[in-house]
Amino acid sequence: MDFGIFGSPVRDRILKLLVLIEDSYPRQLAERLDERLYTVQRAVDALQSAGIVTSRLVGTIRRVELNPTWYAASELRVLLRRMAQADPGLSAIAGSIRRRPRRARKAL
């Protein structure tokens, strides 16, 4: 059974994905990691309570990112990048996330 360094495999994958894509929101994380939204929301809440991630509301969307003011933020980023290298599927997921809006009236 895999317990994960940060308490669960879901928390580990959330953190690794966040270090690759900078910020996201729980629904996008759940879709990309193929997890239930409630599971991701609870994991994000636990990580936020520990101070590892921070969130802010942008309109009605809760944006989540690694907490840059956490006392070990730089070391955590190095560790998570190293862990993400061992998971090539996660790099593919991060690469598939669109980072800017689609041009208006552009055909899908």
pLDDT at 89: 84
- Domain positions in the chain are 9-91
State the pLDDT at residue 92: 75
pTM (2 d.p.): 0.83
Distance CA 78, CA 50 (A): 19
Averaged pLDDT in 10-residue chunks for the chain of 108 residues: 78 93 92 94 95 93 93 94 86 72 68
User: Does domain 9-91 correspond to CATH entry 1.10.150.20?
Assistant: no
Q: What is the pLDDT of residue 102?
A: 64
